[in-house]
Chain A
Amino acid sequence: NAGVTQTPKFQVLKTGQSMTLQCAQDMNHEYMSWYRQDPGMGLRLIHYSVGAGITDQGEVPNGYNVSRSTTEDFPLRLLSAAPSQTSVYFCASSSRGPGANVLTFGAGSRLTVL
């Protein structure tokens, strides 16, 4: 049972490039979410989904897109990367949600935008 799998673990982009952070869970969780973590800022919610076909914005959604075509996958897209998006990104899922049940986090993806 892999839990929540994030790829890639590390990525360096140039300003203006696009990329997708992948997140997959094998626990049949309905709720999935993306957080970014910056020094001194804690975990801030970017986007979340309560089920396939349903997504919503979190606290810091600008510059990011998401989609949820299957229960298992919840990719995060950066359409035109900016240095301000340099951060560690965590995907998390739960069996009920968003707040009722506990979150299982992936190992994280460290993104640097030059």
Chain B
Amino acid sequence: SAVISQKPSRDICQRGTSLTIQCQVDSQVTMMFWYRQQPGQSLTLIATANQGSEATYESGFVIDKFPISRPNLTFSTLTVSNMSPEDSSIYLCSVEPFGNTEAFFGQGTRLTVV
């Protein structure tokens, strides 16, 4: 298994500002993913965070809005840029450890944009 620490757990932000969410894993993992869960909805994949290269974004998500870093095999950040109220969601980090396709999730970051 993997233990994931995601920070912050929640934040209230002003529109037009940016927030960076951190995801720290207690062991090296192959895959790291970022998801968004809008109110009352299921999870939507934003991007796959690739170590040493640019993230791979899903349709409807762009790097300018959601820049992602992954400097090593245990850490990644997601930035929500130029926020608007429509960005109010729970953002979740997920990992798949080496040799294991079971997905593990952080506790999420509850973002409210006012």
Pairing of A with B = no
The chain B residues found within 8 Å of chain A, CB to CB, are none
The chain A residues found within 8 Å of chain B, CB to CB, are none
